[in-house]
Structure 1
């Protein structure tokens, strides 16, 4: 899947499996390590990012859901 992402007001494009969790796209593919890995099952909140203003846990959010959305995190 070819994905265009808007992260912290910057555009990114990549070819990636649509089932990849957003957390690993941010950290491993884009080297944006501000979002942390915690539990991996959406229980702790260490991986929270804002997607179109809504807080989501990036460890369980698939990249296909993030396409076309505005993603923000510190």
Structure 2
């Protein structure tokens, strides 16, 4: 009976990260994170002049890079 009113409610409440948040997590310079976004390596949406990155998108990036490092 505690089902969300809208099925996509959890996705709407998912926290988004800024470039600065992502750069802290990845231990990269914010300009590097922006470059990765422009190159399509990290998925993000543009909000005005800024980017927003969903947590899951950052996890996807980390998993993709982890598997590429393991394959070398």
Q: What's the TM-score, normalizing by structure 1?
A: 0.31
Relative contact order, CA 8 A, sep 6+: which one is greater?
1
More helix by share: 2
- Determine which structure has more spread, i.e. the larger CA radius of gyration: 2
